[in-house]
Amino acid sequence: AEMAMVCLTDFEEYAKEHLSKATWDYYAAGVLLPVLIRLRPRILRDVSVSDTRTTVQGTEISFPVGIAPTAFHCLAWHEGEMATARGTEAVNTCYITSTYSTCSVEEIVAAAPNGYRWFQLYVYRDRKLSESIVHRVEALGYKALVLTVDVPYTGKRRNDIRNQFKLPPHLKVKNFDGVIQEAASSEEYGIPSNTLDPSISWKDVYWLQSLTRLPIIIKGILTKEDAELAVEHGVQGIIVSNHGGRQLDGGPATIDALSEIVDTVQGRIEVYLDGGIRTGSDVLKAVALGAKCVFIGRPAVWGLAYKGEEGVREVLQILNDEFRLSMALSGCRNVAEINRNLIQFSKLT
Ligand code: HOC
Protein backbone atom coordinates (compact mmCIF):
# COMPACT_ATOMS: atom_id res chain seq x y z
CA ALA A 1 0.00 0.00 0.00
CA GLU A 2 1.09 3.57 -0.63
CA MET A 3 2.75 5.22 2.34
CA ALA A 4 0.64 8.01 3.92
CA MET A 5 2.65 11.21 4.26
CA VAL A 6 1.81 12.78 7.60
CA CYS A 7 4.70 15.13 8.31
CA LEU A 8 7.82 16.45 6.58
CA THR A 9 10.14 13.82 8.04
CA ASP A 10 8.10 11.14 6.19
CA PHE A 11 9.26 12.78 2.95
CA GLU A 12 12.82 12.85 4.32
CA GLU A 13 12.76 9.09 4.96
CA TYR A 14 11.29 8.41 1.53
CA ALA A 15 13.91 10.59 -0.18
CA LYS A 16 16.74 8.94 1.76
CA GLU A 17 15.55 5.53 0.62
CA HIS A 18 14.97 6.46 -3.02
CA LEU A 19 17.70 8.94 -4.00
CA SER A 20 21.20 7.78 -4.89
CA LYS A 21 23.64 7.99 -1.97
CA ALA A 22 25.62 10.77 -3.65
CA THR A 23 22.49 12.87 -4.27
CA TRP A 24 21.21 12.27 -0.74
CA ASP A 25 24.60 13.25 0.72
CA TYR A 26 24.76 16.41 -1.43
CA TYR A 27 21.45 17.73 -0.10
CA ALA A 28 21.97 16.47 3.47
CA ALA A 29 25.40 18.11 3.89
CA GLY A 30 25.60 20.31 6.94
CA VAL A 31 22.31 19.82 8.80
CA LEU A 32 22.17 21.36 12.25
CA LEU A 33 20.96 20.10 15.59
CA PRO A 34 17.46 21.25 16.55
CA VAL A 35 17.12 24.36 18.68
CA LEU A 36 14.70 24.31 21.58
CA ILE A 37 12.31 27.26 21.76
CA ARG A 38 9.00 26.98 23.60
CA LEU A 39 5.70 28.73 23.11
CA ARG A 40 3.36 30.57 25.51
CA PRO A 41 -0.08 29.63 24.14
CA ARG A 42 -3.16 31.78 24.81
CA ILE A 43 -6.56 30.15 25.27
CA LEU A 44 -10.32 30.87 24.94
CA ARG A 45 -9.90 33.19 21.99
CA ASP A 46 -12.45 31.75 19.51
CA VAL A 47 -10.17 30.18 16.94
CA SER A 48 -13.04 28.74 14.91
CA VAL A 49 -12.03 30.84 11.90
CA SER A 50 -8.40 31.32 10.98
CA ASP A 51 -6.52 33.06 8.21
CA THR A 52 -2.92 32.13 7.37
CA ARG A 53 -2.43 34.64 4.55
CA THR A 54 0.33 37.22 4.61
CA THR A 55 2.26 39.43 2.20
CA VAL A 56 5.87 39.56 1.04
CA GLN A 57 7.14 42.63 -0.80
CA GLY A 58 3.52 43.74 -1.09
CA THR A 59 2.23 40.52 -2.68
CA GLU A 60 -0.26 38.24 -0.95
CA ILE A 61 0.75 34.60 -0.39
CA SER A 62 -1.31 31.83 1.21
CA PHE A 63 0.89 31.44 4.30
CA PRO A 64 4.31 32.66 5.45
CA VAL A 65 6.27 29.79 3.87
CA GLY A 66 7.99 29.80 0.49
CA ILE A 67 10.51 27.63 -1.31
CA ALA A 68 14.18 28.46 -0.71
CA PRO A 69 16.62 28.16 -3.60
CA THR A 70 18.31 24.75 -3.82
CA ALA A 71 20.33 23.49 -6.76
CA PHE A 72 19.89 20.75 -9.36
CA HIS A 73 16.24 19.63 -8.93
CA CYS A 74 16.52 17.16 -11.84
CA LEU A 75 18.62 15.03 -9.49
CA ALA A 76 15.48 14.47 -7.42
CA TRP A 77 12.80 14.34 -10.12
CA HIS A 78 12.99 14.17 -13.92
CA GLU A 79 11.03 17.41 -14.45
CA GLY A 80 13.18 19.23 -11.90
CA GLU A 81 12.42 22.89 -11.23
CA MET A 82 9.40 22.83 -13.59
CA ALA A 83 7.73 20.49 -11.11
CA THR A 84 8.80 22.65 -8.14
CA ALA A 85 7.33 25.70 -9.86
CA ARG A 86 4.00 23.97 -10.52
CA GLY A 87 3.74 22.56 -6.99
CA THR A 88 4.43 26.00 -5.50
CA GLU A 89 2.05 27.78 -7.87
CA ALA A 90 -0.72 25.39 -6.79
CA VAL A 91 -0.54 26.59 -3.17
CA ASN A 92 0.00 30.23 -4.08
CA THR A 93 3.27 30.99 -2.43
CA CYS A 94 6.73 32.21 -3.41
CA TYR A 95 9.32 30.08 -5.23
CA ILE A 96 12.90 31.33 -5.17
CA THR A 97 14.51 29.82 -8.26
CA SER A 98 18.17 28.84 -7.88
CA THR A 99 20.80 30.09 -10.32
CA TYR A 100 21.96 26.46 -10.40
CA SER A 101 18.70 25.12 -11.82
CA THR A 102 18.65 22.15 -14.14
CA CYS A 103 15.74 23.74 -16.09
CA SER A 104 16.13 27.22 -17.56
CA VAL A 105 14.20 30.17 -16.16
CA GLU A 106 12.27 30.26 -19.46
CA GLU A 107 11.18 26.61 -19.02
CA ILE A 108 10.24 27.24 -15.38
CA VAL A 109 8.05 30.24 -16.20
CA ALA A 110 6.39 28.39 -19.08
CA ALA A 111 5.63 25.44 -16.77
CA ALA A 112 3.87 27.59 -14.16
CA PRO A 113 2.91 30.88 -15.83
CA ASN A 114 0.95 32.24 -12.88
CA GLY A 115 3.51 31.49 -10.19
CA TYR A 116 4.98 34.17 -7.92
CA ARG A 117 8.76 33.96 -8.17
CA TRP A 118 12.00 35.52 -7.01
CA PHE A 119 15.38 34.73 -8.57
CA GLN A 120 18.45 33.77 -6.53
CA LEU A 121 21.58 35.34 -7.89
CA TYR A 122 25.31 35.09 -7.37
CA VAL A 123 27.70 37.82 -8.42
CA TYR A 124 29.81 36.36 -11.18
CA ARG A 125 33.43 37.14 -11.96
CA ASP A 126 32.11 38.01 -15.40
CA ARG A 127 29.71 40.84 -14.52
CA LYS A 128 28.26 40.77 -18.05
CA LEU A 129 26.92 37.29 -17.25
CA SER A 130 25.14 38.66 -14.17
CA GLU A 131 23.77 41.51 -16.19
CA SER A 132 22.29 39.19 -18.79
CA ILE A 133 20.61 36.85 -16.29
CA VAL A 134 19.20 39.84 -14.37
CA HIS A 135 17.64 41.20 -17.55
CA ARG A 136 16.33 37.77 -18.52
CA VAL A 137 14.53 37.16 -15.23
CA GLU A 138 13.21 40.72 -15.08
CA ALA A 139 11.68 40.30 -18.55
CA LEU A 140 10.19 36.95 -17.51
CA GLY A 141 8.27 38.51 -14.63
CA TYR A 142 10.41 37.50 -11.64
CA LYS A 143 9.47 39.86 -8.82
CA ALA A 144 12.70 40.17 -6.80
CA LEU A 145 16.40 39.31 -6.87
CA VAL A 146 17.78 37.31 -3.97
CA LEU A 147 21.50 37.98 -3.76
CA THR A 148 23.32 35.13 -2.02
CA VAL A 149 26.30 36.53 -0.14
CA ASP A 150 27.62 33.60 1.90
CA VAL A 151 29.48 31.70 -0.81
CA PRO A 152 32.76 33.54 -1.50
CA TYR A 153 33.99 29.93 -1.57
CA THR A 154 32.03 26.69 -1.34
CA GLY A 155 31.95 25.23 2.17
CA LYS A 156 33.74 21.96 2.81
CA ARG A 157 31.14 19.22 2.32
CA ARG A 158 32.97 16.13 3.44
CA ASN A 159 30.66 13.55 1.90
CA ASP A 160 30.65 15.36 -1.45
CA ILE A 161 34.45 15.07 -1.46
CA ARG A 162 34.29 11.38 -0.53
CA ASN A 163 31.62 10.71 -3.17
CA GLN A 164 33.38 12.92 -5.75
CA PHE A 165 29.90 14.39 -6.22
CA LYS A 166 29.31 15.89 -9.67
CA LEU A 167 26.26 16.84 -11.65
CA PRO A 168 25.82 13.84 -13.99
CA PRO A 169 26.67 14.56 -17.64
CA HIS A 170 23.04 14.35 -18.84
CA LEU A 171 22.11 17.29 -16.57
CA LYS A 172 23.12 20.89 -17.15
CA VAL A 173 23.06 24.17 -15.29
CA LYS A 174 20.49 25.20 -17.86
CA ASN A 175 20.56 28.94 -17.27
CA PHE A 176 24.11 29.04 -18.62
CA ASP A 177 23.62 26.50 -21.38
CA GLY A 178 25.21 27.93 -24.50
CA VAL A 179 26.16 31.10 -22.61
CA ILE A 180 29.39 29.87 -21.09
CA GLN A 181 31.62 27.00 -22.00
CA GLU A 182 31.31 23.51 -20.55
CA ALA A 183 32.87 22.89 -17.16
CA ALA A 184 36.28 21.29 -17.10
CA SER A 185 36.14 17.85 -15.50
CA SER A 186 38.17 19.12 -12.53
CA GLU A 187 35.61 21.77 -11.68
CA GLU A 188 33.65 21.65 -8.44
CA TYR A 189 30.32 19.80 -8.79
CA GLY A 190 30.99 19.49 -12.51
CA ILE A 191 29.60 22.98 -13.10
CA PRO A 192 31.39 26.01 -14.54
CA SER A 193 33.28 27.67 -11.71
CA ASN A 194 33.79 31.07 -13.28
CA THR A 195 30.58 32.08 -11.57
CA LEU A 196 31.33 32.94 -7.97
CA ASP A 197 33.47 35.97 -7.26
CA PRO A 198 35.13 35.89 -3.82
CA SER A 199 35.95 39.59 -4.07
CA ILE A 200 32.31 40.71 -3.86
CA SER A 201 31.60 43.45 -1.32
CA TRP A 202 28.93 45.99 -0.41
CA LYS A 203 29.76 48.11 -3.47
CA ASP A 204 28.40 45.28 -5.63
CA VAL A 205 24.98 45.91 -4.10
CA TYR A 206 25.09 49.41 -5.61
CA TRP A 207 26.23 47.89 -8.90
CA LEU A 208 23.28 45.47 -8.85
CA GLN A 209 20.88 48.32 -8.05
CA SER A 210 22.18 50.17 -11.10
CA LEU A 211 21.15 47.19 -13.28
CA THR A 212 17.59 46.63 -12.13
CA ARG A 213 14.43 48.13 -10.71
CA LEU A 214 13.54 44.87 -8.97
CA PRO A 215 13.65 44.73 -5.18
CA ILE A 216 16.94 43.27 -3.91
CA ILE A 217 16.92 40.84 -1.00
CA ILE A 218 20.21 39.82 0.59
CA LYS A 219 20.40 36.16 1.60
CA GLY A 220 22.99 35.03 4.10
CA ILE A 221 22.97 37.66 6.85
CA LEU A 222 23.53 36.38 10.40
CA THR A 223 24.48 39.48 12.44
CA LYS A 224 22.94 42.79 13.41
CA GLU A 225 26.00 44.63 12.05
CA ASP A 226 25.43 43.29 8.53
CA ALA A 227 21.68 43.80 8.84
CA GLU A 228 22.29 47.50 9.54
CA LEU A 229 24.62 47.72 6.52
CA ALA A 230 21.98 46.06 4.37
CA VAL A 231 19.42 48.69 5.37
CA GLU A 232 21.96 51.48 4.80
CA HIS A 233 22.65 50.14 1.31
CA GLY A 234 18.99 50.46 0.41
CA VAL A 235 18.01 46.82 -0.11
CA GLN A 236 14.38 45.76 0.31
CA GLY A 237 14.81 42.62 2.40
CA ILE A 238 17.10 40.23 4.26
CA ILE A 239 17.00 36.45 4.43
CA VAL A 240 18.58 35.31 7.69
CA SER A 241 20.32 32.22 6.36
CA ASN A 242 23.32 30.01 7.02
CA HIS A 243 22.93 28.34 3.62
CA GLY A 244 21.35 25.29 5.22
CA GLY A 245 24.38 24.98 7.51
CA ARG A 246 26.49 24.11 4.44
CA GLN A 247 29.03 26.90 4.53
CA LEU A 248 30.71 27.97 7.80
CA ASP A 249 31.34 25.24 10.37
CA GLY A 250 30.29 26.56 13.76
CA GLY A 251 27.97 29.34 12.65
CA PRO A 252 24.67 30.04 14.41
CA ALA A 253 21.27 28.45 13.87
CA THR A 254 19.22 31.03 11.98
CA ILE A 255 16.39 31.04 14.54
CA ASP A 256 18.97 32.13 17.15
CA ALA A 257 20.33 34.90 14.90
CA LEU A 258 16.87 36.22 13.99
CA SER A 259 16.03 38.37 17.03
CA GLU A 260 19.08 40.67 16.97
CA ILE A 261 18.48 41.27 13.26
CA VAL A 262 14.78 42.01 13.69
CA ASP A 263 15.61 44.39 16.57
CA THR A 264 18.17 46.23 14.46
CA VAL A 265 16.06 46.49 11.34
CA GLN A 266 13.01 47.76 13.29
CA GLY A 267 10.58 47.24 10.44
CA ARG A 268 12.52 49.35 7.92
CA ILE A 269 12.71 46.35 5.55
CA GLU A 270 11.27 42.84 5.62
CA VAL A 271 13.24 40.09 7.36
CA TYR A 272 12.85 36.45 6.31
CA LEU A 273 14.49 33.25 7.51
CA ASP A 274 15.51 29.89 6.13
CA GLY A 275 17.07 26.82 7.72
CA GLY A 276 15.61 24.09 9.90
CA ILE A 277 11.89 24.73 9.35
CA ARG A 278 10.23 21.31 9.54
CA THR A 279 6.87 21.84 11.30
CA GLY A 280 4.06 24.37 11.48
CA SER A 281 5.17 25.25 14.98
CA ASP A 282 8.67 26.09 13.63
CA VAL A 283 6.98 28.53 11.24
CA LEU A 284 4.95 30.02 14.11
CA LYS A 285 8.08 30.55 16.24
CA ALA A 286 9.98 32.27 13.42
CA VAL A 287 7.04 34.55 12.63
CA ALA A 288 6.61 35.30 16.36
CA LEU A 289 10.28 36.32 16.48
CA GLY A 290 9.75 38.73 13.60
CA ALA A 291 10.24 36.82 10.34
CA LYS A 292 7.76 38.03 7.73
CA CYS A 293 8.07 34.67 5.94
CA VAL A 294 10.26 31.57 6.11
CA PHE A 295 11.61 29.42 3.30
CA ILE A 296 12.10 25.65 3.14
CA GLY A 297 14.95 24.10 1.15
CA ARG A 298 15.51 20.38 1.74
CA PRO A 299 11.83 19.50 2.41
CA ALA A 300 10.94 20.71 -1.08
CA VAL A 301 13.61 18.42 -2.52
CA TRP A 302 12.21 15.50 -0.50
CA GLY A 303 8.73 16.29 -1.84
CA LEU A 304 10.14 16.30 -5.38
CA ALA A 305 11.86 12.95 -4.81
CA TYR A 306 8.56 11.55 -3.54
CA LYS A 307 6.18 12.65 -6.31
CA GLY A 308 7.44 15.66 -8.25
CA GLU A 309 4.97 18.54 -8.46
CA GLU A 310 2.46 16.69 -6.30
CA GLY A 311 5.06 15.98 -3.63
CA VAL A 312 6.07 19.65 -3.40
CA ARG A 313 2.41 20.62 -3.11
CA GLU A 314 1.85 18.01 -0.41
CA VAL A 315 4.85 19.19 1.63
CA LEU A 316 3.56 22.77 1.51
CA GLN A 317 -0.01 21.69 2.26
CA ILE A 318 1.05 19.67 5.32
CA LEU A 319 3.08 22.64 6.58
CA ASN A 320 0.12 24.93 5.98
CA ASP A 321 -2.23 22.61 7.91
CA GLU A 322 0.26 22.32 10.77
CA PHE A 323 0.81 26.09 10.86
CA ARG A 324 -2.94 26.72 10.99
CA LEU A 325 -3.26 24.20 13.84
CA SER A 326 -0.32 25.68 15.78
CA MET A 327 -1.85 29.14 15.37
CA ALA A 328 -5.20 27.93 16.69
CA LEU A 329 -3.67 26.00 19.60
CA SER A 330 -1.78 29.12 20.66
CA GLY A 331 -4.77 31.43 20.26
CA CYS A 332 -3.89 33.23 17.01
CA ARG A 333 -6.62 33.83 14.43
CA ASN A 334 -4.46 35.54 11.84
CA VAL A 335 -0.81 36.21 11.13
CA ALA A 336 -0.99 39.76 12.49
CA GLU A 337 -1.80 38.32 15.93
CA ILE A 338 1.46 36.34 16.04
CA ASN A 339 4.02 38.24 18.07
CA ARG A 340 6.84 37.89 20.58
CA ASN A 341 4.49 37.38 23.50
CA LEU A 342 4.13 33.83 22.16
CA ILE A 343 7.76 33.00 22.88
CA GLN A 344 9.03 31.77 26.22
CA PHE A 345 12.34 33.54 26.73
CA SER A 346 13.35 31.96 30.06
CA LYS A 347 16.51 29.84 29.92
CA LEU A 348 15.85 26.13 29.65
CA THR A 349 18.16 23.69 31.35
C1 HOC B 1 30.33 25.58 -7.54
C2 HOC B 1 29.64 26.43 -6.55
O3 HOC B 1 24.15 26.54 -3.08
C4 HOC B 1 24.94 24.42 -2.37
C5 HOC B 1 24.62 25.32 -3.51
C6 HOC B 1 25.77 25.53 -4.45
C7 HOC B 1 26.98 26.16 -3.80
C8 HOC B 1 27.96 26.71 -4.78
C9 HOC B 1 28.59 25.74 -5.74
O10 HOC B 1 25.27 23.25 -2.61
O11 HOC B 1 24.86 24.84 -1.22
**In this predicted model, what pLDDT tens digit does every residue of 104-122 receive, in sequence order?**
999 999 999 999 999 999 9
Residue 182 confidence (pLDDT): 64
159 Cβ closer than 6 Å to some ligand 1 atom:
no
Across the chain, which distance is largest between two alpha carbons, in Å?
A: 63
Element spanning 38, H or E: strand 38-39
Please indicate, yes or no, if residue 214 is contained in any of the structural domains.
no
Residue 345 confidence (pLDDT): 83
Render pLDDT for 314-346 as a digit per residue (tens, 0 to 9).
999 999 999 999 999 999 999 999 999 999 987
Residues near 71 by beta carbon (within 8 Å), at least 6 away in sequence: 98, 100, 101
Q: ipTM above 0.85?
A: yes
295 Cβ closer than 6 Å to some ligand 1 atom:
no
Minimum-distance ligand 1 atom for the alpha carbon of 26:
10
Handedness of CA 309, 312, 318, 323 (dihedral sign): negative
Domain count, the chain: 1
> Ligand 1: distance of its center to the CA of 218 in Å?
16
Please indicate, yes or no, if residue 184 is contained in any of the structural domains.
yes
Residue type for position 322: E
Protein residue with least CA distance to atom 8, ligand 1: 154
Residue 307 confidence (pLDDT): 98
Residue 205 confidence (pLDDT): 98
Alpha-carbon distance of 8 to 300, in angstroms, equals: 9
- Domain extent, residue 115, equals 8-32+64-201+276-338
301 Cβ closer than 6 Å to some ligand 1 atom:
no
Protein residue with least CA distance to atom 7, ligand 1: 154
Alpha-carbon distance of 252 to 241, in angstroms, equals: 9
Q: Find the CATH number of the domain harbouring 291.
A: 3.20.20.70
Which stretches of the chain score pLDDT less than 50?
A: none
Protein residue with least CA distance to atom 9, ligand 1: 154
Residue 188 confidence (pLDDT): 80
50 Cβ closer than 6 Å to some ligand 1 atom:
no
Active-site residue 243, yes or no?
A: yes
Please indicate, yes or no, if residue 21 is contained in any of the structural domains.
yes
CA atoms within 13 A on the CB side of 116: 16
Minimum-distance ligand 1 atom for the alpha carbon of 193:
1
